[in-house]
Structure 1
Amino acid sequence: MSERQLKIGLSLVSNGTHPAGWRLPEARADAALDFSLWKEMAQAAEQAKIHFIFLADGIAVRTAASDDDALSYSGRIDQFEPLTLIAGLAASTEKIGYIATASTTYNEPFHIARKFASLDFISGGRVGWNVVTSWSEAEAKNFSRDKHLEHSVRYGRAEEFVDVVRGLWDSWEDDAFLRDKEGGRYFDPAKMHVLNHVGEDFSVRGPLNIARPPQGYPVIAQAGSSEPGQELAARTADLIYTAKQKRDDARGFYESVKGRFGKYGRSTDQALVMPGIMPVVGKTMEEAQAKYQRIQEFIHPKVGLAMLARTFGDLSGYNLDGPLPDNLPTLDGVKSHREPLLKMARDNNLTIRQLYMRVTGAAGHLQLCGTPESIADTMEDWFNAGACDGFNIMAPYFPDGLYEFLNLVVPVLQKRGLFRTDYEGRTLRDNLGLARPAHPATRMKRSA
């Protein structure tokens, strides 16, 4: 058995990762808002011993395309608000973790600290927060702003936001609440800590009106390959997501982001790097390729162009069977995807159509089309090469696109000793092998 084992999460969104997957005859086109189906999928994931379910989210119907009609061809429009969904799913499961996305640009730290602390108690310590700065003008317009904040401003705000949230989670020492009926004292005032934060973006007094979460801090996840994104991840994240197509590029990112940990007083084992994979599984290679081709043929050109517009602006006026133009605008949205996609297009002489066909299905993440064994081979290769600590699996459609991975690929990984056969602990931190952060007051007492 391998000494190191993969960490595996599931990225579940709307009707599935692939925007055209809902059109398959076997797919559930109404999966996005069917809570009974989400419960079934969560329970199946727990049965397979998956570490967590990751819920991506946006706070708008997001598009960078000039043609709004493109939206009508995508199956990724409607979805549950993730914190609400987690509250329901946590009551239906016992050990699997849940990670919800929440924006630092369009929220306040006190609200986020309180909501995730509450969910951590409700779930028994199985919750994480995916920190995002948001990226689209559509989101800005839903929050009384005409324009989205500039990239560096968003990341500066995000750093302070996370610091404030963690400070609020430390409002109470772990044993602050006495609940002494006989003496009449409910909590020890010496173990309450008022934050009194005054910073560039936030002024927050505290304390939080809920006890310290079961995990100390809910797990912090973050995705971003830009320089500010990597710095934020190195400084704050327990889980780091990335989109890489090639193993060596993934290894380069792994070394780059973990190489920054030292400046923040962190060791490299204090966070896990987990690239995204969209698997299309078949009993034979031919079956998998045929299934993948069926999904790809459903991609409408307007959806493909809308996907590229997030990174490169409106390309609808160019020949789809020609190359990307040289004079591409630099947008202030998803910067972490721009350079990898440009490199892919230039290195492979891709046309605009070929590029959107390659990236639309998995939003620039690795797409693996093959047998359970071949998919496991690639996962094992990346893991052993030091390119990752695990993977975030992006089911192309629901529910079969998820169940095929759980029922066919996971057993292969378990047989090879690459993936566990049971949960190791009670909390999400326990199961990811991440230490519970001690309260700052406790750390001070230990060092005294």
Structure 2
Amino acid sequence: MSPDARRLTINVNVLGVGQRPAAWRSPDIVPEAIVDLGHWQRVARLAERGLVDAIFLADRPAITDPRSRPVQYLDPLVLVPAMAAATERVGFVATASTTLNEPVELARRLFSLHVATGGRFAWNAVTTWDVEAMRNFGIEELPERAERYDRAEEFVQAVRALWDAAGTREEVRHRGARLSFDASLGIDPVVPGRPAVVQAGGSAAGERLAGRVADAVYSIAHDPAASAAHRRAVQAHAAAAGRGADEPRVYPGLALVIGSTEREAGERFEHWEHQAPPTYSLRELEKALGLDLSDVDLERPLPDELVREAEAGGGWSEGYRRVLLARIRDERPTVRALLRDFGGYGQRFLAGTPERIADAMQEWFDAGAADGFNVMIDLFPSGLEDLVDHVVPVLQRRGLFRRGYDDADLLGRFRRP
């Protein structure tokens, strides 16, 4: 592969002990894994062995009920330095909210991680729609979507101004519609550059925000045509903001179950799906669509009246709901089939062999539908071992993925051809 060849970016979304709801029941997992730094460090070392670009750490600053699915309880900004200390090259993307934080304090924490990791850090800027998380920060009512996204754009721009002034001893004076401060970080930029900014732009407002401020964008499209359209929309917003159209790179989510044969992959999925609480997937689909599905016939398509109700609003997010409703309208699957394909819990789901997974990645990449992928693994460590030892070599043989890390920081890695 030539140094200038276009190649895939692969980020691994580490959801506790795995994306499957019953992953915690795996015999490979110790009960305290999600609060054991050793677990996170082992995952980081394994990802680095696979030459992945970055580990993505989501966050929900509200405690969930562990009886159905323990996910993650440690703050990503605590996990990053621990994982970085156990590795040398892999990057880290950590989530922090523009609604629940203040820009000066957060800018300092994030820039500190950029310096401490030697440039291996990126910030996933989210607006937060979770009412329980809001209440943990003393916010009783969820701000309107437009307000949250307007604040997010101003917030990211303010943080970027603080980063740009690091080491200059100059104070940043910001007077905006929602934020006002006079401040400096007081940190010397001993590591050049700045953290990359990541955003998940699924709705129209999200696409606009992503195009205007993000270096990398996570998408939830389920097919190449929709993903390509999303990528073009983000690029158009970037160009309109005076940026290069190709500056924001788009990484669709891809939830994987990997097997040496198609049958093995299917059996692995079915086994762990049946280990979860029996109504788990149905309850998650209810949340995504904003519906009560307790009385639906699983062997028939979702009734038209419920589709119309979902179209009227509600659910996790506008982006997730839009993608799911497009599939329901276009394909009219039975609820049972929809639940199986909802195995990605909002992300595109694929169970198959390493070759089939590489084929899907290459199809999207060659079609201009993706610059890479945000991969969700079913179980840690076994699923990640399958990605590293079986999928990555297929991509390398096809000239689609690196055979060694270069010297670029994470922002530079995202900006490679």
What amino acid sits opposite 2:165 in the alignment? S
User: Would the aligned equivalents of 1:296 and 1:357 in 2 still touch at CA under 8 Å?
Assistant: no
Give the Å deviation of 1:286.
Answer: 1.2
Structure 1 partner of 2:399: 417
Verify the 8 A CA contact 1:105 1:134 in the aligned structure 2.
yes
Q: Which residue of structure 1 aligns with residue 283 of structure 2?
A: 306
Q: Is the 8 Å Cα contact of residues 152 and 228 (structure 1) preserved in structure 2?
A: yes
Output aligned runs, 1:294-333, within 5 Å: 294-321=271-298, 323-324=302-303, 325=306, 326-328=308-310, 329-331=312-314, 333=316
More off after superposition, 426-435 vs 220-229: 426-435
Task: Indicate whether 1:81 and 2:71 are aligned.
Answer: no
- In the alignment, the residues of structure 2 paired with residue 395 and residue 305 of structure 1 have an alpha-carbon distance, to the nearest angstrom, of 21
Q: CA deviation at 1:311?
A: 3.0
Q: CA deviation at 1:141?
A: 1.5
1:444 aligned partner: none
Of 396, 400, 404 in structure 1, the residue corresponding to residue 378 of structure 2 is: 396
| CA deviation string 1:349-390 (max 9, x = no partner) | 23444433422x322212121111111111111111111111
Task: Classify the secondary structure of the residue corresponding to 1:205.
Answer: strand
1:195-344 correspondence to structure 2 within 5 Å: 195-212=172-189, 214-321=191-298, 323-324=302-303, 325=306, 326-328=308-310, 329-331=312-314, 333-344=316-327
Q: In the alignment, which of 11, 17, 20 is matched to residue 19 of structure 2?
A: 17
Residue 82 of structure 1 and its aligned partner are, at CA, apart by 0.2
Q: How many Å apart are 1:327 and its aligned residue?
A: 2.5
Q: Structure 2 CA distance, aligned partners of 1:31 and 1:287? A: 26
Task: State the 1:61 CA deviation.
Answer: 3.2
Q: What is the match of residue 131 of structure 1?
A: 125
1-structure distance, mates of 2:89, 2:390: 22
Q: How does 1:63-78 map to 2 (within 5 A)?
A: 72-76=67-71, 78=72
Equivalent AA in structure 2 for residue 297 of structure 1: H
- TM-aligned CA deviation for residue 171 of structure 1: 2.4
Equivalent in the alignment of 1:48: 50
Aligned residue identity for 2:271: R
- Give the counterpart letter for 1:319 in structure 2: V
SS in 2 for 1:165: helix
**TM-score, structure 2 normalization:** 0.92
> Is residue 353 of structure 2 the alignment partner of residue 371 of structure 1?
yes
1:183 matched residue in structure 2:
none
Question: RMSD across aligned C-alpha pairs, in angstroms?
Answer: 2.1
Q: Aligned-pair distance for 1:102?
A: 0.2
Output the CA distance in 2 between the equivalents of 1:28 and 1:416.
Answer: 37
Q: State the distance in 2 between where 1:413 and 1:275 align.
A: 17
Q: Distance in 1 between matches of 2:264 and 2:31?
A: 22
Which blocks of at least 5 consecutive residues in structure 2 are unaligned?
A: none
Aligned equivalent of 1:116 = 110
Deviates more, 1:333-342 or 1:222-231: 333-342
- Deviation for aligned residue 1:24: 4.1
Q: CA deviation at 1:391?
A: 0.8
Partner SS state of residue 57, structure 1: coil
Deviation at 1:100, TM superposition (A): 0.2
Whichever residue aligns with residue 152 of structure 1, its letter is A
Please say if residues 108 and 185 of structure 2, whose CA atoms lie closer than 8 Å, have aligned partners that are also in contact. yes
Question: Which amino acid in 2 is paired with 1:44?
Answer: L
- TM-score of the superposition, structure 1-length normalised? 0.86
Contact 2:217–2:251 (Cα < 8 Å) also in 1 = yes
1:329-357 deviation per Cα after TM superposition (whole angstroms, max 9, x unaligned)? 51275111111111212333234444334
Name 1:96's counterpart in structure 2.
90
Number of aligned pairs?
A: 409
- 1:297 to partner: Cα distance: 2.2
Deviation at 1:268, TM superposition (A): 2.5
Q: 2:238–2:248: 8 Å Cα contact kept in structure 1?
A: no
> Residues 76-107 of structure 1: CA distance to partner in whole angstroms, max 9, x if unpaired?
2x332101100111111111110100000100
Counterpart amino acid of 1:37? H
Once the two structures are superposed, residues 162-185 of structure 1 have per-residue CA deviations (whole angstroms, 9 ceiling, x without a partner) of 01111111223xxx5xxxxxxxxx
CA contact under 8 A between 1:51 and 1:96: conserved in structure 2?
A: yes
CA spacing shift, 1:40–1:26, aligned 2, 3 Å: closer
Rounded to whole Å, the distance in 2 between the matches of 1:405 and 1:30 is 24
Deviation of 1:192 after TM superposition, in Å, equals 2.8
Structure 1 residue 74: deviation in Å?
Answer: 2.1
Distance 1:333 1:213 in 2: 40
- Cα 1:298–1:167 shift into 2, 3 Å: same
| Match 2:330 to one of 333, 339, 347 | 347
Unpaired runs of at least 5, structure 1: 63-67, 177-190, 436-448
Could you say if the C-alpha distance between residues 29 and 375 of structure 1 is closer, same or farther in structure 2, counting changes exceeding 3 Å?
Answer: farther
Deviates more, 1:210-219 or 1:221-230: 210-219
Contact 1:305 1:315 in 2 (8 A): no
Give distance in 1, aligned partners of 2:107 and 2:222: 35
> Quick check: 2:290–2:315 contact (8 Å CA) kept in 1?
no
2:368 corresponds to 1:380: no
Tell me which structure has the larger Cα radius of gyration: 1
Please say if residues 27 and 400 of structure 1, whose CA atoms lie closer than 8 Å, have aligned partners that are also in contact: no
Maintained 8 Å contact 1:7/1:390 = yes
- Contact 2:76–2:95 (8 Å) recurs in 1: yes
